[in-house]
Amino acid sequence: MTHPNARRVSLDGKVAIITGASRGIGRAIAERLASEGAKLELVARDRARLDALVRELPDAVAHVADVASEDDVERVVRDVLERRGRVDVLINNAGIGVFGPIEKTSWDDFVKVLHVNAGGTFLLSRAVVDPMRRQGAGDILNIASVVGSKGYREQAVYGASKHAVIGLTKALAVELHGTGVRVRAISPGGVATDLIREARPDLSLDGLIRPEDIADIVAFLLTAPATAVIDNVNVRRAGNEPWF
């Protein structure tokens, strides 16, 4: 006999904010959630790419914004709540990287990466917590990275920012436990995006994780039965050794 709560959760009609949505992992997530019937609120800085994507997807709205700007984030969430009346899903995906030896890395670069990767995750999460609490339900999914758990040469700044994302995720998951709001992280290894080309120009794109693979994992986490919760997903390239 099938347990009554073991049915797949539907995303049809759910309101989802996705940051960094104009390309790479964010775009793949947007396309995947659109196929599930979600109402999309897409955030990015590249207006041309964002507008082009919105034209391809049903019930999608573009927000040209900087996730590291408190004013921009508050404007986006306020606009979503005024139009949709709720926020069901937040995907914190926007991210940048600076790579190279630490002695050649400027303080400004360090601050910029932390502001976008960790600061953006903080600002968006903070902005949606109260609406989700009032609803008694919500999902915050943070796209972290293998570098949030492991150290990599010439990735000190990027690694620090993703360690911060993991730390935020852990703390918020505990803080919001029992409210109906679930906070989780996905930590991929090398994904075939523009960022990996900058971070690891030595890698061939063949054999890397595809953005669509991460999008499928996002959809799985959001639609899995409510009887079990997956807090963190580590995703490695098929050819790499296990992390443990």
Give the per-residue pLDDT at 199. 65
Q: Where are the beta strands (DSSP E) in the chain?
A: 15-19, 39-44, 60-64, 89-92, 138-143, 181-188, 232-235
Within-domain flag for 241: no
Q: Quote the longest CA-to-CA distance of the chain.
A: 62
Within-domain flag for 6: no
Amino acid letter for position 103: E
Query: Where do the H-state alpha helices sit in 85-193?
Result: 107-114, 120-135, 156-175
By percentage, how much of the chain surpasses pLDDT 70? Answer: 96
Task: Give pLDDT tens digits for 82-108.
Answer: 999 999 999 999 999 999 999 999 999
Give the per-residue pLDDT at 1. 45
| 158 catalytic per annotation | yes
Task: Give pLDDT tens digits for 188-197.
Answer: 988 877 776 6
The pLDDT confidence band at residue 7, using thresholds 50, 70 and 90, is confident
In order of 48, 99, 193, 199, 242, the CA distances from 204 in angstroms are 28, 18, 12, 12, 20
CATH of the domain at 95: 3.40.50.720
Within-domain flag for 10: no
pTM: 0.94
Within-domain flag for 2: no
Within-domain flag for 62: yes
Within-domain flag for 25: yes
Q: How many CA atoms lie within 13 A of 152 on its CB side?
A: 20
Q: Residue 191 burial by CB count (10 A; 0-12/13-18/19+): exposed, middle or buried?
A: buried
Give the per-residue pLDDT at 107. 98
Task: List the single range of 19-23, 150-154, 166-170, 189-193 with lowest mean pLDDT.
Answer: 189-193
What range defines the domain where residue 192 resides?
Answer: 15-235
Give the per-residue pLDDT at 35. 98
Query: What is the mean pLDDT of the segment spanning 158-184?
Result: 97
Task: Give pLDDT tens digits for 172-225.
Answer: 999 999 999 999 999 998 887 777 667 677 767 777 889 999 999 999 999 998
Give the per-residue pLDDT at 240. 83
Q: Looking at 68, 72, 84, 158, which residue is catalytic?
A: 158
Closest CA to 129 of 12, 11, 17: 17
User: Could you tell me which residues are beta bridge partners of residue 233?
Assistant: 186
Residue 144 has pLDDT above 80, yes or no: yes
Closest CA to 19 of 244, 232, 218: 218
Task: Give pLDDT tens digits for 25-58.
Answer: 999 999 999 999 999 999 999 999 999 999 999 9
Query: Tokens in use for 33?
Result: 């959630």
Task: List the single range of 154-163, 194-203, 232-241 with lowest mean pLDDT.
Answer: 194-203
Within-domain flag for 203: yes
Amino acid letter for position 36: E
As for how many domains the chain has, the answer is: 1
Mean residue pLDDT across the chain: 93
Within-domain flag for 144: yes
